[in-house]
């Protein structure tokens, strides 16, 4: 729900979003890879699972408290901002970046380059640190 949006996006609606994570390293590991994709997926999947069948809502939205009380963890609050694709991309980037150093199967020299949230097949938002 985008409470600041003047069009239909202000109403509850859904997307089948995908997330693309681009990582880099200065060198390849002993298996001639930057990292094992499975290890990367496992490092971020628990966080991403929270978004499956969940509603993202601006905490300033008048319905936020009611929805949160009714549906609990299936309502994800975005503090004082609408959960646009741009906000989701930045939030996910920061979360994934923080988790990269915690996966035991991930190389320590791995760095997050950019993260893209695909809202549809033709619309996306991408976040990268400059």
Each residue's pLDDT tens digit, 64-118:
999 999 999 999 999 999 999 999 999 999 988 888 866 567 777 889 999 999 9
Q: Which two tokens stand for residue 46?
A: 């628990």
Each residue's pLDDT tens digit, 37-51:
888 888 788 788 999
What whole-number distance in Å separates Cα of residue 110 and Cα of residue 39?
Answer: 12
What whole-number distance in Å separates Cα of residue 22 and Cα of residue 122?
Answer: 19
What b/e string do you get for 92-111 counting C-beta neighbours within 10 Å, with b at 16 or more? bbeebeebbeebeebbeebe
pTM value? 0.84
**CATH for the stretch 8-127:** 3.30.479.10
Domain ranges for the chain: 8-127
């Amino acid at each position: 729900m985008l409470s600041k949006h003047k069009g239909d996006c202000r109403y509850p609606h859904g997307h089948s979003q995908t997330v693309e994570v681009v990582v880099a390293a200065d060198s390849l590991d002993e298996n001639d890879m930057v990292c094992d994709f499975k290890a990367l997926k496992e490092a971020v999947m628990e966080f991403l699972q929270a978004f499956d069948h969940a509603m993202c809502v601006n905490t300033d939205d008048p319905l936020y408290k009611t929805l949160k009380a009714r549906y609990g963890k299936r309502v994800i609050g975005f503090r004082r901002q609408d959960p646009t694709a741009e906000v989701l991309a930045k939030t996910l980037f920061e979360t994934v970046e923080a988790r990269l150093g915690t996966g035991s199967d991930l190389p320590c020299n791995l760095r997050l380059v950019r993260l893209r949230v695909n809202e549809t097949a033709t619309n996306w938002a991408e976040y990268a640190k400059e």
